[in-house]
Amino acid sequence: MSETILSILIILLVTICTTFVSLSGGFLLLSNSKLTRYFQKYGAIFAAIVLLYATFFDVIPEVLEANAVPVWQIPLFIAAGFLICFVLNTLGGHLHRHGDKHALRSKKQAISMLIVDSIHTALDGVILGLSFASSLGTGITTATATAAHEIPQEIGDFSIMLRSKMPKRQIAKVQIISGLLLIPFTLLSYFIGDFISGVMPVILCFIAGSFLFIAWGEVAPGLGKIWRRAKKTVKKSVN
């Protein structure tokens, strides 16, 4: 078996595992598992830690090791990646805030959310494929980070569809189809990566920026709640 075929098989296996691990939180919710409460409570924090680890201990060292981008330019490219993710999420109107009080309730809104979520999955596939094109280790780290932040998000998505009165079997079906988009986009981006290897360090900087944005999106709602509670506590103590 040639090295290329072996790499493709590994990437395919890792991507399939990432897809179903990402959906696991949603399936637990459908089965009314008590574990979903722990995922909802601690999942975002765990996801942020994994994303930050992937950024500072894998992706950025990979860029520095390549020695193809001046050190002073690296923070600029990372900031550009962060900004691009912010714009895309703002335009998509689907910021990753779990437990949103204004959750979608109609089937039409749920389908719209599914379309946006499918686009998000495709973008995850692009990032994952380019990470694998950089190195197998970076790809596996990115896959771990992707699954970590998708588990609590999928719990939120599944719960939104449940509240829209969509049948459980249909929810599982459409979410699996959406999740499986990760596979073709990952493989396509991996093959494209061979042709853009010269700019791969810059792309990795953008990936680092996207990880930082997602990590911020995971912890920002929690920080907001802490800040609001602190303000209430101060007001009560003053009054």
- 200-221 pLDDT tens trace: 999 999 999 999 998 888 777 7
Segment 180-202 mean pLDDT: 92
More confident residue, 102 or 11: 11
The mean per-residue pLDDT over the stretch 51-62 comes to 93
Instruction: Evaluate if residue 224 carries a pLDDT over 70.
Output: no
> By the 8 A CB rule, do 214 and 51 touch?
yes
Distance from C-alpha of 183 to C-alpha of 38, rounded to nearest angstrom:
28
Q: In this predicted structure, what is the pLDDT of residue 202?
A: 94
Predicted pLDDT at 223: 65
The fraction of the chain above a pLDDT of 70, given in percent, is 86
How many CB atoms within 10 Å of residue 46?
16
- What's this model's pTM, rounded to 2 decimal places? 0.83
Q: Which two tokens stand for residue 99?
A: 């437990």
Task: State the alpha helices, DSSP H only, in 31-181.
Answer: 35-54, 60-66, 74-92, 107-134, 136-163, 168-180
More confident residue, 48 or 114: 48
**172-179 mean pLDDT:** 89
pLDDT band at 226 (very low <50, low <70, confident <90, very high): low
Please say if the pLDDT value at position 239 is more than 80. no
Q: Compare 109 and 52 and report the one with higher pLDDT.
A: 52
Q: Which residues contact 140 (CB under 8 A, 6 or more apart)?
A: 14
Counting beta carbons within 10 angstroms of the beta carbon of residue 1, is it exposed (0 to 12), middle (13 to 18) or buried (19 or more)? exposed
* Cα-based distances in Å from 214 to 43, 72, 89, 155, 221: 13, 23, 10, 17, 12
